[in-house]
Amino acid sequence: METTQRSLTKAISWRLLATVITSSLVYAWTGEGSFAATVGLADTVVKFFIYFGHERLWNRISFGRQRKEPEYSI
């Protein structure tokens, strides 16, 4: 199970990368830096919280996980 801090760190690093990509694409299409920054910021704010919640929700779901058996026996 991941810690909240790990999920938060992953969310931040992903959103930074995604913001650069989104802003770059908007700038390439429009040539307007302030509009690209606005779209990138709005995209980041909304999707950051969605991603974080998604990570925490999946952390509660056991689908696809394997239980690790203890390496010792008593």
Residues 6+ apart with CB under 8 A from 10: 55
d(CA 32, CA 29): 8
pLDDT of residue 26: 96
Please calculate the CA angle 49-55-56 and round it to the nearest 5 degrees. 90
pLDDT of residue 21: 94
Return left, alpha or beta for 11; rule: phi > 0 is left, psi -120 to 50 is alpha, else beta.
alpha
- Tens-digit pLDDT profile for the chain (74 aa)? 678 888 788 878 988 898 999 999 999 999 999 999 999 999 988 988 888 888 889 888 888 877 777 777 76
pLDDT of residue 27: 97
d(CA 55, CA 11): 8
